Amino acid sequence: MEKFIDNLPAMDLMRSEKMTFVQLIIPVESAHRAISYLGELGLLQFRDLNADKSPFQRTFVNQVKRCAEMSRKLRFFRDQISKAGLLSSVHPVLQPDVELEELEIQLAEHEHELIEMNSNSDRLQHSYNELLEFKIVLQKASGFLVSSNSRAVPEERELDENVYSNDDYGDSVSLLEQDIRPGPSDQSGLSFVSGIICKSKALRFERMLFRATRGNMLFNQASADEQIMDPLSTEMVEKTVFVVFFSGLQAKTKILKICEAFGANCYPVPEDITKQRQITREVSSRLAELEATLDAGIRHRNKALTSVGFHLAKWMNMVRREKAVYDTLNMLNFDVTKKCLVGEGWCPIFAKTKIQEALQRATFDSNSQVGIIFHVMDAIESPPTYFRTNRFTSAFQEIVDAYGVARYQEANPAVYTCITFPFLFAVMFGDWGHGICLLLGALILIARESKLSAQKLGSFMEMLFGGRYVLLLMSLFSIYCGLIYNEFFSVPFHIFGGSAYKCRDTACSEAYTIGLIKYRDPYPFGVDPSWRGSRSELPFLNSLKMKMSILLGVAQMNLGILLSYFNARFFSSSIDIRYQFVPQVIFLNSLFGYLSLLIVIKWCTGSQADLYHVMIYMFLSPTDDLGENELFWGQRPLQIILLLLALIAVPWMLFPKPFILKKLHTERFQGRAYGMLGTSEMDLDVEPDSARQHHEEFNFSEVFVHQMIHSIEFVLGAVSNTASYLRLWALSLAHSELSTVFYEKVLLLAWGYDNFVIRLIGLAVFAFATAFILLMMETLSAFLHALRLHWVEYQNKFYYGDGYKFKPFSFASITEDED
């Protein structure tokens, strides 16, 4: 058996790639090119040899600062292009490669030119806004002044004769009477201030003026006919023209300060209509000139931005690469002579030849007289974990890695998760009508794979697109399980043309279940739809799905324990095989493996035995006669033997391993094997979790407590994990019943009315419930429960998940966020 297992071909995903620790000694003149070639290859993970230094104490800090400054300029260009509504070229035009120094000079020139154009444009726009506001104020304020003068004409003579001839009038006249007095404003002390303010501030502005002048003012306002650009937010805002009539210098000072505080712009408006018209013509002429100048400036600016946009993608990619190269060079150390850089890192064994070829090419292209030294070293720390995945397996590997990255060379759960995860999802989701809907969505994502992969997607769409093959398998298995359940949108679907026997009462159903009723035509595939609508439908389906959940759970937990055996064999840990794998298999199968056997026998024989009674009294009264609950001859002695084996397995898991580890440690470091302390081969036989690697001090109490926790967790977990698999039954039942409720109580109920509107509303509610509740919420629920079954119930049997990912230096992995 062991020879057969050893001769099995290796699986790519079963074990992570074998890694080796290497050292590079690179001459200074070829360092940049060598790191660039390694970045294109993407198969070497560098170790930071300057971790104790701050970023500002590293060798190439000035080059990193230069790259960061160029990245800032490129982001500035990108923002300006986006603000102008232009599109940067995704496929840059072909041009000769430029050096970093030349690019730095070009970017500085482009930035200086663009900043100058923006400054000139802002000044012109500010002048344009001021003139436009002045024009609007002239148009609106002249109306206020004309109406004021027209009101004063009929009363002029009477006021002159009766009132204004009085010498004391100047002291006692009211503000309103001064407002309508003809003649220049300065004769009566009446003045006015005209300007424009944001419409949202007009009411508060008027209240503040009223309070400041104690009501001794007249406030006239009118909305501007067109919106004006706000110089700060560059948004078009509505504004209001105002004219404030007042008397006295103190009032004028207060009003001007309030205008300044509210951001109101004041403009002088002459009282003479001729002057008003002359100024209006001059302002209009100046506005036309500024508008033409602004249009020409915008065209020139857009032309400059377009020329930059053609090369923007290439320049940004080049700067990102250069920054990544210098960041990596900062992880290397100078040797004693300061002529070579020393680097260390991890690489897969299969990549050693490719890395050496890239380093030789870097030496040749840089015309270096000294070659780059590449040699393998021994490492104390554990290597990183690296799995080579493709478009199909990468999503399943991410599901496993979300729980924890596999320890180096540990068995990878993703190998089996590719099938078990979508299958357990389908057991809970099982409806082939809904499964077809999911299949269509998955096929659309796969058909548009090349197009969507080139686009920048949102977080939700990116997650959905990344799991397109997971969705494909989930939908296919859902269709399969739906065919077994014979459920099509929860409607019983007679695929093979009729049922074997129509049972409509409990007695008939039970007799049909246990085989008392003979039939000629057995239903060939899945659950007979004749159970639908019978009084025993729910008890029958509950019993079937509950037992099926237990069988699937025990099978998957046994798979997890079996993988722990392969881990122990791979790491040559005979202690884990004898004192962990064997008692775990005995304990789990003595109880729940036996329960699974009873389920299968009951299905095959049609027995009416109560399995709850059998399992409970197996512990309470193992020697009692089983009576009608006996399923096969010799069941009682078998139960006693299995119960004893389960009891023996608990101390078997708990006690031997800590004492054997203590004995091995004593022999190795204090007794007969003392002369072998310095050998590295002895450390290879040490268990990964034995706390004895690298000659660490052995703590027996810590090891014993750890083993005790592990044993208790397994014993209790065998019960709780088996019960946890009943979620397969619970969610399948919930999905089926929800579908039935929406179908019968919404669609069929609405269809029973002879009214088109009611039918349309019922169809809309049913479609909404199907799309958002059954296809979205139920899919997410089944996905999360399948995730929990794999992370907790399955992976805790063998998976440590305390490794760390292999993250090589690669240009392909550089994102825009690293600017």
21-44 tens-digit pLDDT: 999 999 999 999 999 999 999 999
Determine how many CB atoms are found less than 10 A away from the CB of residue 61: 15
Residue 55: its H or E element: none
Determine how many CB atoms are found less than 10 A away from the CB of residue 79: 10
**Angstrom distance (rounded) from CA 786 to CA 624:** 40
**Does residue 99 register a pLDDT over 60?**
yes
Question: What's the pLDDT score for residue 232?
Answer: 66
Determine how many CB atoms are found less than 10 A away from the CB of residue 406: 27
Question: What's the pLDDT score for residue 567?
Answer: 93
Bigger pLDDT: 186 or 405?
405
Burial of 347 (0-12, 13-18, 19+ CB in 10 A): buried
Highest mean pLDDT among 118-127, 364-373, 783-792: 783-792
Determine how many CB atoms are found less than 10 A away from the CB of residue 345: 23
Question: What's the pLDDT score for residue 807?
Answer: 93
**Does residue 8 register a pLDDT over 80?**
no
**Angstrom distance (rounded) from CA 144 to CA 269:** 11
**Does residue 496 register a pLDDT over 90?**
no
Tens of pLDDT along 422-441? 999 999 998 888 899 999 99
Mean pLDDT within 762-780:
90
Q: Which residues of 712-721 are buried (b: 16+ CB within 10 A; e: fewer)?
A: eebbebbeeb
Bigger pLDDT: 715 or 517?
715
Tens of pLDDT along 242-294? 999 888 888 889 999 999 999 888 988 888 888 888 888 898 999 999 999 99
Mean pLDDT within 205-224:
89
**Does residue 682 register a pLDDT over 60?**
no
Phi, psi of 730 (to 5 degrees): -65, -45
Between the alpha carbon of residue 303 and those of residues 42, 48, 81, 259, the distances in Å are: 38, 45, 11, 40
Largest CA distance in the chain: 136
Tens of pLDDT along 793-805? 999 999 999 999 9
Question: What's the pLDDT score for residue 487?
Answer: 63
Question: What's the pLDDT score for residue 344?
Answer: 94
Question: What's the pLDDT score for residue 553?
Answer: 95
Least confident of 297-301, 349-353, 449-453, 508-512: 508-512
Question: What's the pLDDT score for residue 182?
Answer: 36
Looking at residue 237, the DSSP 8-state letter turns out to be E
Tens of pLDDT along 320-357? 999 999 999 999 998 777 789 999 999 999 999 999 99
Mean pLDDT within 485-500:
49
**Angstrom distance (rounded) from CA 38 to CA 358:** 7
Note whether 240 and 263 are within 8 A (CB). Answer: no
Least confident of 331-340, 693-702, 768-777: 693-702
Q: Residue 142: name the closest of 194, 182, 190 by CA.
A: 194
Over the chain, what is the mean pLDDT?
83
Question: What's the pLDDT score for residue 540?
Answer: 85
Q: Residue 27: name the closest of 377, 344, 373, 376 by CA.
A: 373
Encoded amino acid at 121, one letter = S
Helices 28-41, 273-329: inter-axial angle, 10-degree rounding: 100
Question: What's the pLDDT score for residue 461?
Answer: 83
Whole-model pTM: value is: 0.77
Between the alpha carbon of residue 62 and those of residues 55, 69, 318, 326, 713, the distances in Å are: 10, 11, 17, 10, 55
At residue 77's C-alpha, the angle toward residues 72 and 83, to 5°, is: 125
Mean pLDDT within 570-597:
94
Q: Strand 333-334 relative to strand 236-237: parallel, antiparallel, unpaired?
A: unpaired
- pLDDT cut 90: percent of the chain above it: 47
Q: pLDDT band for position 494 (50/70/90)?
A: very low
Question: What's the pLDDT score for residue 623?
Answer: 85
Q: Which residues of 429-443 are buried (b: 16+ CB within 10 A; e: fewer)?
A: bbbbbbbbbbbebbe
Tens of pLDDT along 497-531? 333 344 444 334 444 443 434 444 566 777 877 77
**Angstrom distance (rounded) from CA 247 to CA 172:** 13
**Angstrom distance (rounded) from CA 476 to CA 471:** 9
Question: What's the pLDDT score for residue 798?
Answer: 93
* All domains of the chain in start order, with CATH: 22-110+299-376 (no CATH), 122-147+188-289 (3.30.70.2750), 392-669+700-797 (no CATH)
Note whether 272 and 218 are within 8 A (CB). Answer: no
Mean pLDDT within 438-459:
87
Question: What's the pLDDT score for residue 337?
Answer: 75
Encoded amino acid at 746, one letter = V
Question: What's the pLDDT score for residue 351?
Answer: 93
Question: What's the pLDDT score for residue 514?
Answer: 39
Question: What's the pLDDT score for residue 761?
Answer: 92
Bigger pLDDT: 163 or 91?
91
Note whether 19 and 383 are within 8 A (CB). Answer: yes
- pLDDT cut 70: percent of the chain above it: 83
Question: What's the pLDDT score for residue 413?
Answer: 94
Question: What's the pLDDT score for residue 522?
Answer: 62
The answer for residues whose C-beta is within 8 angstroms of residue 706's C-beta and 6 or more apart is 689
Tens of pLDDT along 629-663? 888 888 899 999 999 999 999 999 999 999 999 88
**Angstrom distance (rounded) from CA 302 to CA 296:** 10
Tens of pLDDT along 138-183? 888 877 776 555 544 444 434 344 433 444 434 433 333 333 333 3
